[in-house]
């Protein structure tokens, strides 16, 4: 495994990780719920809790808004009256909220260790090297539009914003990539090669006009001819949760349920998305299953907490199973526990900010441009 040191910008926005005090460790479920409700009541309108669909049940039940990355970014940008935005999700989501928030607001992430392994696969210095090496390979970088998945650091978003690029989420990737193709000759899509490949293919880019840029190889592992031929350059990053789903699992499901349908998140591999019946973001998955006819059977290729919740919500009218029989859990989303949430809320009641996310101003300026460009695309 590659190990890299954090840049100064990353260190600043990650902040100092404070350990959870012992007094928050041995609380019964009932006591936890009562105390969380009491803290929420005390903070009232001063607080808004945002929860991503992959959060555990014990946490998401306290969220004022739930959603996918796009919906939550819009909620953060809506600039409500709340003074504190507590983000039950992962680090890049809280950073995006801090970039989009109103001046009077503060963003907190209950556990600073709730990161995203995919976002960590693209560092700002690697992107600078990529840009330099592409130029040396004879690619006109001024005609590349960089598109970063929202699952990336604020520093990556800032680089992208400064170079005429834009952020996308899994909900709007096709619209955003079309926007980018109208403005440039080729796209660099990072950090998720799978979202990039799946969406690019949907937009009609043939696979032989895509090339994978490996940040750990000289010249990304490409020849000048490879780089110049590519309309879509795909950063070699992936989601360790969604790449666990396989075509064999789809075949096994179809054998058992010939009438069943498979719905996959576009962070899954190209083969899985091609073999599935439908692919889309978490919000798309929820919407599709809720609208599906009674009696239908679905295998879902996304994080297990969302699948379990849909299973319970829609039973017994529909049969919903996880495509991976063992279930795929995002261990960093899981780090946000009710205990951490309570500690952060108690801190706010007492006037102490635990785990505030602060993106440095210079980074924020360019990253906001890339996020604002995305929010304007419908």
Whole-number minimum distance, CB 80 to ligand SF4, in Å? 24
Residue 332 interacting partner from ligand SF4, ligand 13P, none (CB closer than 5 to 8 Å by kind): ligand SF4
Whole-number minimum distance, CB 136 to ligand SF4, in Å? 31
Which residues here bind ligand 13P, judged by CB under 6 A?
A: 53, 68-69, 116, 151, 169-171, 239, 267, 281-282
Name the segment binding ligand SF4 (CB under 6 A); options: 21-29, 168-176, 330-338, 351-359: 330-338
Whole-number minimum distance, CB 374 to ligand 13P, in Å? 12
Site string for ligand SF4, 271-300 (x = CB under 6 A): ------------------------------
Phi, psi dihedrals of residue 174, rounded to the nearest 5°: -65, -45
Query: How remote is the C-alpha of 149 from its chain's centroid?
Result: 7
Find the residue with minimal CB distance to ligand 13P: 68
Name the segment binding ligand SF4 (CB under 6 A); options: 6-14, 114-122, 308-316, 317-325: 114-122
Instruction: Pick from 151, 170, 198, 337 the residue near ligand SF4 by CB under 6 A.
Output: 151
Site string for ligand SF4, 181-220 (x = CB under 6 A): ----------------------------------------
| Residue 41 neighbours by CB under 8 Å, 6+ apart | none
Query: How remote is the C-alpha of 283 from its chain's centroid?
Result: 12
Joined tokens for residue 67: 């959603």
Site string for ligand SF4, 22-41 (x = CB under 6 A): --------------------
Site string for ligand SF4, 73-102 (x = CB under 6 A): -----------------x------------
* Nearest one of 366, 363, 356 to 9, comparing CA atoms: 363
d(CA 377, CA 255): 41
The answer to whether residue 116 forms part of the interface with ligand SF4 (CB under 6 A) is yes
Q: Which is nearer to ligand 13P, 13 or 151 (CB)?
A: 151
Q: Which is nearer to ligand 13P, 53 or 197 (CB)?
A: 53
> CA angle, corner 318, sides to 316 and 321, nearest 5?
105
Cβ contact 159:123 at 8 Å: no
Q: Which is nearer to ligand SF4, 116 or 188 (CB)?
A: 116
The answer to whether residue 239 forms part of the interface with ligand SF4 (CB under 6 A) is yes
Cβ-based neighbour number of residue 284 at 10 Å: 17
Phi, psi dihedrals of residue 278, rounded to the nearest 5°: -140, 155
H/E element holding 148? strand 144-149
User: ω into residue 191 within 30 of 0, thus cis?
Assistant: yes
DSSP one-letter string for 188-203: EEES-HHHHHHHHHHT
* Nearest one of 6, 41, 52, 18 to 346, comparing CA atoms: 41
Phi, psi dihedrals of residue 82, rounded to the nearest 5°: -60, 140
Joined tokens for residue 35: 């105390």
Residue 117 interacting partner from ligand 13P, ligand SF4, none (CB closer than 5 to 8 Å by kind): ligand SF4
Residue 320 interacting partner from ligand SF4, ligand 13P, none (CB closer than 5 to 8 Å by kind): none
What order of strands is seen across the sheet that includes strand 65-67? 65-67, 47-52, 84-88, 106-108
> Which residues form the interface with ligand SF4 (CB under 6 A)?
90, 116-118, 151, 239-241, 267, 303, 330, 332-333
């Amino acid at each position: 495994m590659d190990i890299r040191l954090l840049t100064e910008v990353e260190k600043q926005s990650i902040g100092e990780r404070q350990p959870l005090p012992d007094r928050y460790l041995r609380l019964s479920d009932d006591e936890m719920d009562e105390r969380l409700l009491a803290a929420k009541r005390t903070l009232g309108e001063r607080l808004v809790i945002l929860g991503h669909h992959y959060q555990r049940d014990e946490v998401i039940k306290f969220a004022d808004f739930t959603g996918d990355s796009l919906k939550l970014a819009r909620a953060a940008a809506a600039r409500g009256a709340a003074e504190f935005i507590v983000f039950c999700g992962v680090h890049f989501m809280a950073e995006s909220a801090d970039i989009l928030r109103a001046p009077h607001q503060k963003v907190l992430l209950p556990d600073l260790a709730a990161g995203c392994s995919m976002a960590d696969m693209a560092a700002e210095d690697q992107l600078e090297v990529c840009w330099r090496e592409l130029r040396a390979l004879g690619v006109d970088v001024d005609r590349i539009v960089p598109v970063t998945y929202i699952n990336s650091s604020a520093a990556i978003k800032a680089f992208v914003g400064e170079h005429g690029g834009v952020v996308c989420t899994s909900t709007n990737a096709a619209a955003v990539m079309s926007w980018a193709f109208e403005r440039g000759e080729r796209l660099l899509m990072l950090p998720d090669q799978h979202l990039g490949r799946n969406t690019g293919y949907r937009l009609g880019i043939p696979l032989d006009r895509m090339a994978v840029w490996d940040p750990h190889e000289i010249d990304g592992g490409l020849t000048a001819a490879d780089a110049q031929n590519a309309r879509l350059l795909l950063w070699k990053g992936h989601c360790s949760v969604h790449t666990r789903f396989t075509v064999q699992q789809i075949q096994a499901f179809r054998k058992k349920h010939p009438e069943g349908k498979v719905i996959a998140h576009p962070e899954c591999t190209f083969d899985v998305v091609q073999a599935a019946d439908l692919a889309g973001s978490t919000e798309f998955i929820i919407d599709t299953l809720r609208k599906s006819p009674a009696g239908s059977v679905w295998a879902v290729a996304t994080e297990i907490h969302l699948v379990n919740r849909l299973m319970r919500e829609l039973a017994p009218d529909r049969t919903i199973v996880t495509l991976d029989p063992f279930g795929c859990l995002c261990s960093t989303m899981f780090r946000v526990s009710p205990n951490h949430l309570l500690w952060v809320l108690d801190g706010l009641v007492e006037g102490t900010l635990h785990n505030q996310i602060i993106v440095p101003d210079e980074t924020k300026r360019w990253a906001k441009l890339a996020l604002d460009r995305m929010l304007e695309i419908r």
